Each structure stands twice: as structure tokens, then as C-alpha cells.
Amino acid sequence: MKLYTYFRSSAAYRVRIALNLKGLSHELVPVNLLKSEQQGEDYLNKNVQGLLPALETEQGVLAQSLAILEWFEDTNQGQPLLPSDPWQKAQVRNFCYAVACDIHPIDNLRVLKYLSTELGVDDEQKNTWYRHWVIEGFKKLEPMLGEGPFCFGDKPTLADICLVPQVFNALRFKVDMSAFPKISRVYEHCNTIQAFIDAAPENQPDAQ
């Protein structure tokens, strides 16, 4: 498998973590978002959406990080990242969607670029926008978590895979995490696990 990735892409980061946790053999193919390589003809021929990540498999190319993660689960590849109990599984998915659908889309690179280039928002205003929506999202996530080292249960799930990249970028934009001790605890614990460490942005071949 080939994963088309960018070192600071939250969505690609999710898939890198999952590939590592599941022990799946893969090749990383960097696509530079800052240079708009995702809009180039070669990449669009693989992923018409022009977004990252994309996973190239023997069956074809699959885009959208959550679809990729669910495909890993549906094809029983590597260790399970969803609970077997249907209710617990739904709780994990609920948490994932809160990150991937409610927080990430309004804070991703193309939105921030639009704010700067089309609406004339300066860097301070753009960063204020980012922090506001992350904080509002984290306020909803914090009560969903218990006291354990992971989001749910005693093993990493798709919830942890979605949370860690979002916290990484929150810290990069200097979000004050003092109001979110449970989120911070999960983030810190996950980053003691080699699969998470190896997937971290600073450890990628295209890290800048």
C-alpha cells in the first residue's frame, strides 16, 4: 500500500497512526500541501478530490481518512481499533466524528488559506479563529472521556487516532490546554507508544 501524505496533515496523521498500530506494510509518498501539489494532474488522477490523504491499494485508491480507517477494520487488517460491543463501537465513532466533522473541517489548511488570501484576515485573526473553534470543540470532547489512559477502554481505538493529531495542531497554534486535563492525559499517554511516535509529524520524511 502507498499512503499519500503530508507531515502536518491531521487526516494523513490519523492514517499513519493506524497503519503503525496495525503493523501494515506501506510506503509513504509525500505530497506538499504548501506547494499545492495535491492539485497537480498526477495526484488528481489518483484522487479526484484533491485532498489528503489517499491510500493506494491493489483494489484502487481510497480517500477520506475515516473511510480508510473503517476499511482497515472491515477487512480485519491488524489489531482491532474498534470495540466489538455495538454500543461501545458507536461511542468511539461518535467521538471520531466530533473531531473529524465538527472541529477539523473549519480549521484545516484550505480554510485558513481562504481566510488569509480571499478575506484579508491577518495572521493574528486567523490564529484566533483557529483557537476559538478548537477550544469550542474540545469543550464538547472533554466530558466524553473517562479517567483512563485512552479515550475509551484500555487500548487505543479510532478515537485516540483522531484525537492525537488534533491536539498536536492545537498545541502548534498555542491553544491553552489547561482546561482539558483528560484530553491532555490521553495525548501524553498515546505519545509514549511507538506507533504514535513514528507517525508524529516531526518524524516524517517530509518534515520541515
Please tell me which residue, 189 or 107, carries the higher pLDDT value: 189
Give the residue from 159, 127, 128 showing the smallest Cα distance to 146: 159
100 & 63 share domain: no
What are the two backbone dihedrals, phi and then psi, of residue 83, each rounded to the nearest 5 degrees? -65, 160
Residue 12, classed as helix, strand or coil, is helix
40 & 73 share domain: yes
Does the residue 73 lie in any domain?
A: yes
Task: Please report the pLDDT score of residue 26 as a whole number.
Answer: 96
98 & 186 share domain: yes
Predicted confidence (pLDDT) at residue 197 exceeds the cutoff of 90: yes
Does the residue 48 lie in any domain?
A: yes
Task: Please report the pLDDT score of residue 10 as a whole number.
Answer: 95
Considering the entire predicted model, what is its pTM?
A: 0.94
90 & 47 share domain: no
Task: Please report the pLDDT score of residue 107 as a whole number.
Answer: 87
Q: Give how many domains the chain has, as a whole number.
A: 2
For residues 81 and 171, give the distance between their C-alpha atoms in angstroms, rounded to a whole number: 25
pLDDT in tens, 129-182: 999 999 999 999 999 999 999 999 999 999 999 999 999 999 999 999 999 999
Q: Which residue has the cell 492525559?
A: 185
Q: Which long-range contacts (CB under 8 A, 24 or more apart) does 55-58 make?
A: 55/1, 55/2, 55/3, 55/4, 55/15, 56/1, 56/2, 56/3, 56/4, 57/1
Domain containing 28: what range? Answer: 2-79+197-203
Question: Is-contact 208 20, C-beta < 8 A?
Answer: no
151 & 181 share domain: yes
163 & 188 share domain: yes
Residues pairing with 61 in the sheet: 56
Predicted confidence (pLDDT) at residue 120 exceeds the cutoff of 90: yes
Q: What is the CATH number of the domain that holds 19?
A: 3.40.30.10
Does the residue 104 lie in any domain?
A: yes
Mean pLDDT of the chain, nearest integer: 95
Task: Please report the pLDDT score of residue 77 as a whole number.
Answer: 80
Question: Is-contact 71 65, C-beta < 8 A?
Answer: no
60 & 95 share domain: no
Does the residue 137 lie in any domain?
A: yes
Task: Please report the pLDDT score of residue 170 as a whole number.
Answer: 96
Q: What is the CATH number of the domain that holds 159?
A: 1.20.1050.10
Neighbours of 178 (CB within 10 A): 7
Average pLDDT over residues 22-50: 93
Q: How confident is the model at residue 109 (pLDDT cuts 50, 70, 90)?
A: confident
Does the residue 116 lie in any domain?
A: yes
Does the residue 114 lie in any domain?
A: yes
Does the residue 187 lie in any domain?
A: yes
Residue 9 burial class via C-beta count within 10 angstroms: exposed 0-12, middle 13-18, buried 19 and up: buried
71 & 103 share domain: no
121 & 189 share domain: yes
Question: Is-contact 171 183, C-beta < 8 A?
Answer: no
98 & 57 share domain: no
Question: Is-contact 91 152, C-beta < 8 A?
Answer: yes
Predicted confidence (pLDDT) at residue 113 exceeds the cutoff of 90: no
Does the residue 208 lie in any domain?
A: no
101 & 180 share domain: yes
pLDDT in tens, 80-105: 999 999 999 999 999 999 999 999 99
Question: Is-contact 26 19, C-beta < 8 A?
Answer: yes
